[in-house]
Every structure is written in C-alpha cells, then in structure tokens.
Amino acid sequence: MLTNKHLKYESQKIGMNYFRVAIVLFGAQLLFGLVCAIQYLWPGFLFETLDFNIARILHINALVVWMLFAMLGSVYYLLPDEAGRDVVGAGLGKLGFWVLTAAVTVVVLVYLFIQIGPGKESTIWFINEGREYIEAPRWADIGIVAIVLIFYYNVFFTYIKGRQTGILTVLVADLLALAGLYLAGVFFTDNISMDQFWWWWVIHLWVEATWEVFVGALAAYGLIKILGAKREIVEMWLWIEVLLLFGSGILGLGHHYFWIGTPEYWWEIGALFSSLEPVPLVAMFVHVLYDWGKEQGHKEAVEGEGAHAVSNSPAMAWIALNAFGNFLGAGIWGFFHTLPQVNIYTHGTQFTAAHGHLAFFGAYATILIAMMYLGVQGAYGIKKMTMTFKSKMAIGLITFGVIGMTVALTIAGYEQVLVERAELGAGWDAYFIAQNLTWMKQAMGWRLVMGVITFIGFVYLLWDLVTIGEVEEAKEANELQSAVA
Amino acid sequence: MSNKSASVWTSIRFWRRSAAWVTATAVVLLMWLTFDTVKQISMGSDEDLKKGIRKRIPAPTVINYHIDYKFSKKRGHEVPVIGQKEPFFGKEWSPKEAAALLHKGKLTFQAKACIDCHTALGNGAYYAPDLTKAWLDPKWNNGTMTAMIGKKTKEEAMAEFLMHPDKYPTHGRMMPNLHITKDEAIALVAFLKHMSSIDTNGFPRNFSINAKRLKGGTNAH
C-alpha cells in the first residue's frame, strides 16, 4: 500500500493516495464507534469531554468520508484501465486530493476540539451543521462541491477522449447524479419536515440508489480484472442492475416519508418500491457467483484441476462477501422494517442501527476494501495475489464482528420495539424503561464485544494492506527464480 | 451479447435502453410527487390557525395555542389537535416574533447537534428519547419534571432543564451541559412545541397510552 512503483498512470497514483487516507479514516470510524458503544454501557465515559453526540458525529462522518475517499480512489484507479489512457488533468486531480484531505483534517479537528457552537448561522457555517451524516459545516460543503467538480471534470473528459466502455458510461452518469444530489443537503430551513424531506434526497438517493449503482460498476470492473470475465456479459448484467436498482431505489425513497409530516400516499409508494429493492441485490449476488463459477470451470477445463481463475484472491473474497453482504444487510435487514405497518414501531429504534451497520459494511465497505487490494496488486506489479494469514484474519474477524454487532443490535431493537413502542407507547419514560432492561444491556454488551473483534480485524486488515504487496512480490520473484533454475 | 443479438434478452442495447427508460420514469414520478409533497409540507400561515384550517406543518404562531394529541377514528391513529390559545412564556407571540423564535430554535437544535443523541420525527441517534412529541410528554404534563425543577409552567421547566441538565439528572445516561443560553433554551422549547403540532401520520403510535399509564401509576418502574 505504501508504494506506487509499478503504476504506469498518474490517475492510479492519485487513486492510491485516496485509498491511503480512506483506510486511516476507516480506523477512526471504528475507534469512535467503540467510544459510543462504551457510552451505552457506562454513560460516564468521557462525559462532557467527548459526549455521545460528538463521538457519533465522528463515527458516522468518518464512515461517509472514508467511503467517499475510497470511491474517488477506485474511480481514479480504474479510469486508465477502462478508458485506455491516463486521466486528462493529473495535476488538478492531485491538487484536489490534497485540498480535500486538508479540508477533512480541519473539519475533524473542529469536531474534536470545538464540537458545538451557539445557536447562530456562524455555527452552521464554521463548526457543525447538525444534520445527521452531513454535519460538515457549510464552508466544507462548498469545498466538497468544488473538489467534486474537479473530479467530475477529470472523469468526464477522460471518458470522452478515451475508450467509452459500458462500465464508464454507467459511472459517468451515476457520478453526475451522486454529486448533484449533495446540493439537496446544502441549505437551511426552519421547517423540520422540509429539512428532513430534502435531507433524505441526499442520504437515501446516495446509499439506496447512486452508491448501489456505483458498487455494481465496481463489481463489474473487479470481475473483469480478477477473473477475466467476458466484458459483454458483465456489462449486460450491469445495465440490468442499473434498471432494477434505479427502478426500485428512486421511488423506494418513499419509505423515509411515512412519519416526517409528509402525506399518507407515501405509505403505499414507499412500501411497494422498497419491497422491490432487494431484487437487484439478489441479481448482483447471482451474477458474481455465476461469473466466478463459470470462469473457474473454464480455467479447469483448459488447464486441468488445480488451476485458479482468480488473479487476486483477497479482492475476490471481499467482492463475494460484498455480493452476499449487500443482499443480507441492505436487502433482508432493510426489508425487515420497511413496511409502514412494521415501521411505525421500528422507526427510530436500534433496529435501524442494526440495518445500518450490516448494510454499510456489506454493500460498501467490502467492495471498497476489494478495490484497495486491487490497488496493492497493481502497485507491486503482482500477477497472482493470494491470501496471507493476515488477509484471512482480517476478513474473518471483521465479518464475524459486524454480523455479531448486527445480531446484538437487532435483539436490542426487538426489545425496544416491543417494550418501549408496543407495550408502553413511546415517550420519555417508556424510552428509559426499555433502555434500562437487562435485555437491552446484554445486547449492548455483546455489541461492544463484537465491536472490539471488528477493530482487531481492522488491525489485521491495515497490517495486511501495508505488507501483502512485498510478501507476494517476493513470493512471485522466488517462484520465477526456482522456475528458471 | 453484441448489438446484433440472437435474442432481445441478451442484447446490451435493449437493457441499456430499458435502464434509461425505467430510470427516467422513476425520476419523473418522483419529481411530480415532490411538487405535491413540498406544497403539503410548507408551513401554514397565522391566518390558517385563526380560521382553524389544519395544515400538516402549522405556522410558527402555533406556539400560542394549546396542543394535544388525540385518537382520530377517521384516520385510525392519533393526530395533533390545536386547541384554545394559551400563553407561551407568559405572552402571546406575534407572527414575526414567533417566526424569529422558531428560526433560532432550529438553528440551536442544529448547532448543539441534538440529533446525534436524540431522534426528531424518528430520525437521528438512539441514545436519548425521541423529541417528536416531547412537548406533549406526560413526564412534563403531569408535573413530575416540572415539580422537580420547581417551575410553574412546563415551558419554563423545559427551558431550565435545557440550560442545566446536569442539575436535574433522571437516569445514569444524562444530558451533558451544552452551554445553552436562556434565549436559546426558550427558542428550543418553541421548536419542540412547534414540532409536536406536526401531523406525523400517527407516529409515535399509542403515545397516549403513555399518558394514561403514568396518571394511573401502574406499570411504572
């Protein structure tokens, strides 16, 4: 992860820079998540030093930002491969990277040390916007828009001047929507319903529409790169996925409009379209496994048993995990509570947290980690990258940890829904009765344990990303030497 | 798989076009629904309140009225009911004053990152109670908190609590002192009162069970 020595294109070097910052921010996300998990059990922990709201801002903002960094990194990395040429504005791209990294550093330092401000416009502009996931102050919003414009300029003109593959066509269209949607989150209103209405345009239309299509494009690239899958098949699947994802996800937005002051017709629209949202995720799962099996079978038929179609097994493992995790976390855990008849009880409970953890991990973290492994392979010029012990520990512990957290939070969610909402009918008193039950505390205890396991897995992941390149490079050199001898 | 495919089902061109059409249709439908929803969730006016016209999100001057949350047989769930006028912090607020107060309240709500512990309209973090109907919460209504804080009215007690939550701990998990000034606290209470008047299609459900339960004193811890 620390070298670019075999990378021919400037674009890929920029991509690697984004990956490096992303993995650090991923670590920060987990650390602040642990702080929050500890505070659920021992509310006095860091009380009035790093309160829950600040720790959570850091937890969820680090999540969004590391994913955006890794997404930008992935696009810069795959761009020359797809377009068949280097990025048009490498200098501009580098500048954008450094400005964005500096801006993120300032935002994080302000969150940590200034935290909150007085109830004035200046707080919204310079400290904290106080809107979940997009808390970054207004100056940073404007900065992000400027950097994204540079990025989009680079992608668009590289695409126009280079090879216009199906994967790039999807990405060029998707990134425009993704960037444009951010603008729906950059304004202030006194009307909390209007606020949340547009806020969901950013959050939902990112994570349940444009980000999912982005993942489809990355998986398509990964399958071609890792398995040598046939481009025509992969790209045809990609268009089917776009159809299903946008066809269900855009109006699936309705499932956030059940209870925020918006009209009742969203009950039916939200229920119908969000029930369809798991369908493309099944399609993606089938597609990845189908291609894997097909290419492996083909390879064995040609080269005999023992031959492997996979040229990067850690990346392939994470992509396969993505296919399954996306379906399970976003699809199944999302469908659990998407119908209004259920959602009236589950809305705003730990159920949502359970879904959030598994969905963000399964749908996004996994494939972005796969892209980082592809980056390492390219940077060290490795032909066939295999898993090390550390790769296996990383994938095993992180997956076990996240699923464990999800199960614990689901149990906490059930308890909260049944006791606080169904039995006691919501409100302050009902909330605290449910929070103080042993069932909730046990679940939160397990969540912390599983969070620690996830973090240990992360340490292995970081260690592996830093060292696997040299290990595998040396292994290939040895094999080559012994073959020559 | 190529453009001259044997079957339409394996034609990239067919799927690309279908994807474009389906996406475009979904976007057009969303736009159309958005126009209608935005109209319905725009704040009502002071005139509407005076004439008794119900808007999903009433004008800021709703803080001058008594607000309740009652079961509607017609709709099958509880709905906010705006009643007679009642003083808010001992006075009636003009439309201009009420709007300025709500503005400050919403700004403070964001500036203190309330939503990263609480939920509002059910969205936010799950570390602290939902604030959607906090103004109507029986814990404040039947005097428990109000008596503990030693204020005459609910709004004064809420404002005092917001300014010094550390002085009135109720549970091990307590609210930190966010250095909220008196003006900000009054504005926040106005924001909460306004939010309680929003028609949330019955969320949170069975909120009034809570009121009955606490009055009767059964089922409490």
How many helices, marked H, and strands, marked E, lie in chain B?
A: 8, 4
Q: What is the per-residue pLDDT for B141?
A: 76
Q: Is residue A32 part of a domain?
A: yes
pLDDT tens per residue across span A97-133:
999 999 999 999 999 999 999 999 999 999 999 999 9
* pLDDT, averaged across chain A: 96
**Is A274 exposed, middle or buried (CB count within 10 Å of its CB: 0-12, 13-18, 19+)?**
buried
Confidence at B104, pLDDT banded by 50, 70, 90: very high
On whether residue A359 sits in a domain, the answer given is yes
Within-domain flag for A327:
no
Residue range B39-51: mean pLDDT, rounded: 96
Tens-place pLDDT, residues A218-235: 999 999 999 999 999 999
Give φ, ψ of B175 to 5 degrees.
-80, 135
Q: Looking at the predicted structure, is the pLDDT value of residue B2 above 60?
A: no
Query: Do residue A190 and residue B210 have CB atoms under 8 angstroms apart?
Result: no
Instruction: Please tell me whether residues A179 and A246 are part of one structural domain.
Output: yes
Work out the minimum CA distance from A198 to partner chain B, whole angstroms.
10
Chain B's closest residue to A115, CA to CA, is: B112
Residue A103 CA to residue A54 CA, distance in Å, equals 18
Domain membership of residue A290 (yes or no) is yes
Sign of CA dihedral A399, A405, A407, A413: negative
Whether omega before B204 lies within 30 degrees of 0, making that bond cis, reads: yes
Q: Closest CB to B121: pick one of A43, A129, A260.
A: A260
Instruction: Give how far the C-alpha of residue A30 lies from the chain's centroid of Cα atoms, to the nearest Å.
Output: 13
Q: Write the DSSP assignment of A338-392 as a string of letters.
A: TSHHHHHHHTTSHHHHHHHHHHIIIIIIHHHHHHHHHHHHHHHT-SSB---HHHH
Residue A30: pLDDT band (50, 70, 90) is very high
Residue B146, min C-alpha distance to chain A (Å): 14
- CB-nearest partner of A263 from B29, B37, B173: B37
Closest residue of chain A to B196, computed from CA coordinates: A261
For residue B203, which residues of chain A lie inside 8 Å, CB to CB? 258-259, 344, 347
The shortest C-alpha distance from B90 to chain A (Å) reads 23
Residue B212 has pLDDT above 90, yes or no: no
Burial degree of B157 (CB within 10 A; 0-12, 13-18, 19+): buried
User: Residue B71 forms beta bridges with which residues?
Assistant: B78
Q: Helix axis angle, A10-41 relative to A438-484, nearest 10°?
A: 150
Average pLDDT, chain B: 92
Q: Write out the two tokens for A251.
A: 């109006």
Q: Which of A143, A144, A135, A100 is nearest to A117 (CA)?
A: A135
pLDDT at B221 over 50: no
pLDDT at A62 over 80: yes
| Same-domain pairing of A143 and A172 | no
Average pLDDT over residues A67-88: 97
User: Residue B103 corresponds to which amino acid?
Assistant: H
Distance from CA of B160 to the nearest CA of A (A): 17
Per-residue confidence (pLDDT) for residue A442, from 0 to 100: 97
Sequence-distant contacts of B65-72: CB under 8 A, at least 24 apart: B65/B197, B67/B135, B67/B136, B67/B193, B67/B196, B67/B197, B68/B136, B69/B133, B69/B136, B69/B196, B69/B207, B69/B208, B70/B208, B71/B208
Residue A176 shares a structural domain with residue A296: yes
Structure tokens, B216: 């009767």
Domains contained in chain A, number: 3
Sign of CA dihedral A339, A341, A344, A349: negative
**Nearest residue to B161 via CA among B136, B142, B140:** B140
Task: Check whether residue A228 and residue A113 sit in a common domain.
Answer: no
B173 has a pLDDT exceeding 60: yes
Q: Are residues A302 and A420 in the same domain?
A: no
CA distance to partner chain A, nearest, from residue B85 (Å): 22
Q: What angle do CA B176, B181, B182 make, to 5 degrees?
A: 115
Residue A377 has pLDDT above 60, yes or no: yes
Tell me, yes or no, whether A25 and A118 share the same domain.
yes
Which of A310, A345, A363 lies at the terminal end of a domain, its last residue? A310
The residue range of the domain holding A114 is 9-147
Residues A384 and A292 in one domain: no
Q: Three-state SS for B54? A: coil
- Quick check: A131 and B110 CB within 8 A? yes
The residue with tokens 């996979």 is A310
Q: In this predicted structure, what is the pLDDT of residue B216?
A: 54
Range with lowest mean pLDDT among A287-291, A326-330, A368-372, B65-69: A287-291
Helices A211-227 and A278-303: angle between axes, nearest 10 degrees: 0
Rounded Cα–Cα distance for residues A135 and A125 (Å): 11
- ipTM attached to this prediction: 0.95
Does a structural domain hold residue A159? Answer: no
Strands (E) across A277-416 are located at none
| Of A456, A322, A311, A468, residue with least CA distance to A389 | A468
Predicted confidence (pLDDT) per residue in B185-197, tens digit: 999 999 999 999 9
- The pLDDT assigned to B148 comes to 83
**pTM of this prediction?**
0.96
Among the partner-chain residues A57, A188, A256, the one whose CB lies closest to the CB of B113 is A57
Instruction: Give per-residue pLDDT as tens, B5-31.
Output: 678 888 999 999 999 999 999 999 999
Helix (H), strand (E) at residue B123:
strand B123-124
Q: Are A473 and A481 in contact (CB under 8 A)?
A: no
Residues A173 and A137 reside in one and the same domain: no
Task: Report the distance separating Cα B190 and Cα B63, nearest Å.
Answer: 6
Per-residue confidence band for A194, with pLDDT thresholds at 50, 70 and 90? very high
Q: Do B57 and A261 touch (CB under 8 A)?
A: yes
State how far the Cα of A95 lies from the Cα of A105, in Å rounded to an integer: 15
Is residue A202, in this structure, part of any structural domain at all?
Answer: yes
pLDDT value, residue A136: 94
Q: Given an 8 Å threshold on Cβ–Cβ distance, is B129 in contact with A431?
A: yes
Of A189, A246, A435, the CB nearest to B23: A246
Spatial distance between the Cα atoms of A278 and A241, rounded to a whole number of angstroms: 11
Residues A177 and A266 in one domain: yes
Query: Tokens standing for A123?
Result: 């707080």
What pLDDT band is residue B218 in, cutting at 50, 70 and 90? very low
In a mutational test of the B interface, the residue from A257, A262, A291, A409 whose CB has the highest number of chain B CBs within 10 Å is A262
Q: What's the pLDDT score for residue B142? A: 65
Residue-level pLDDT at B4: 60
Give the pLDDT mean for A416-442: 94
3-state secondary structure of B168: coil
d(CA B14, CA B7): 10
Residues A207, A113: one domain? no
Q: Are A279 and A248 in contact (CB under 8 A)?
A: yes
Q: What is the pLDDT of residue B170?
A: 86
Name the region of A9 (left: φ>0; alpha: ψ -120 to 50; beta: rest): beta
Q: Give the other-Cβ count within 10 Å of A458's Cβ.
A: 20
Average pLDDT rounded to a whole number, residues A239-268? 97
H or E stretch at A312: none
Asked whether the beta carbons of residue B206 and residue A116 sit closer than 8 angstroms, the reply is: no
Q: Which are the contacts of A413, defined by CB distance < 8 A and separation ≥ 6?
A: A346, A349, A350, A351, A352, A353, A354
Residues of A in contact with B187 (CB under 8 A): 119
Query: pLDDT by residue (tens digit) across A143-166?
Result: 988 999 999 999 999 999 999 999
Domain boundary among A119, A147, A175: A147
pLDDT at A39 over 80: yes
pLDDT band, residue B219 (cuts 50/70/90): very low
Contact call for A132 and B130, based on CB within 8 A: no
- Lowest-pLDDT range, A89-103, A212-226, B139-153? B139-153
Lowest mean pLDDT of A305-314, A355-364, B142-151, name the range.
B142-151
Chain A residues near residue B201 by CB distance under 8 angstroms = 258-259, 264, 267
Residues of A in contact with B172 (CB under 8 A): 43-44
Assigned domain for A407 exists: yes
Task: Classify residue A483: in a domain, yes or no.
Answer: no
CB contact under 8 A, B119 and A259: no
* Nearest Cβ partner for A132 among B116, B133, B134: B116
Q: How far apart are alpha carbons B176 and B164 in whole angstroms?
A: 8
What percent of chain B is predicted at pLDDT more than 90? 80
**Nearest-by-Cβ selection for A116 from B113, B122, B214:** B113
What is the spatial distance between Cα B108 and Cα B143, in angstroms, rounded to a whole number?
A: 26
Give me the percent of chain A exceeding a pLDDT of 70: 100
**Which pLDDT belongs to residue B5?**
63
Which of helix, strand or coil describes residue B71? strand
Residue A336: CB atoms within 10 Å: 16
Task: Give the Å distances, CA to CA, from A214 to A167, A175, A289, B99, B118.
Answer: 10, 8, 19, 42, 32
At B209 the pLDDT is 80
According to the model, what pLDDT value does residue B8 have? 87
Q: What pLDDT, on a 0 to 100 scale, did the predictor assign at position B208?
A: 79
A238, A339: one domain: no
Report residue B207's pLDDT band, with 50, 70 and 90 as the boundaries: confident
SS3 B72: strand
Are residues A289 and A425 located together in one domain of the fold?
A: no
CB B1 within 8 A of CB A231: no
Put simply, the answer to whether A259 touches B122 (Cβ < 8 Å) is yes
Q: Which of B78, B110, B218 to mutate to test the interface with A (most CBs of A within 10 A)?
A: B110
Domain end position, chosen among A118, A147, A176: A147
